[in-house]
Amino acid sequence: MAERRVNVGWTEGLHARPASIFVRAASAAGVPVTIAKPGGNPVNAASMLAVLGLGAQGGEEVVLASEAEDAEAALDRLAKLVAEGLEELPETV
């Protein structure tokens, strides 16, 4: 299983607009991805309700993971998006 640990870069955390940006990017990743708080239960990163339910705040660590064999590049892009609080999914890392 591949995973990335990152701190949420959006000051407002994964709420409303940032959660929407993240969920769209996770849906477009091409591999199934989960997101969780450390020690918490992982949820589907492509589910808006699940991501909002995490209640991840700005600066808080989250864990992105995938069991897909080709998940490394997708996780790198998603980790960059979350860590830097970007407005859209970066095309390259």
Q: Which of 3, 9, 15, 79 does the annotation list as catalytic?
A: 15
CA distances from 40 to 25, 55, 93 (A): 22, 12, 27
Tokens standing for residue 93: 């890392």
Please confirm, yes or no, whether 11 is among the known catalytic residues.
Answer: no
| Measured distance CA(17)–CA(30) in Å, rounded | 22
Active site residues: 15
